[in-house]
Amino acid sequence: MIRMFVIRLPNGNLMAPESAFDHQGHVVGDAYVEVSPADPEYARLASQAISEDELDRQRRRWREDDEALRREFEDYLASQQHDAGEPN
Residue 1 lies in a domain: no
CA 3 – CA 44 distance, rounded (Å): 18
Which one has a higher pLDDT value, 88 or 55? 55
Query: How much is the pLDDT for 85?
Result: 65
Q: Flag whether 39 is in a domain.
A: yes
Question: Would 88 be classed as within a structural domain?
Answer: no
Res 1: pLDDT: 46
How many CB atoms sit inside 10 A of residue 16's CB?
Answer: 22
2 lies in some domain: no
| Total tally of structural domains belonging to the chain | 1
Report which of residues 84 and 30 the model is more confident about: 30
Range of the domain at 24: 7-83
pLDDT tens-digit series, residues 9-65: 999 999 998 888 888 888 888 888 999 999 999 999 999 999 999 988 988 888 887
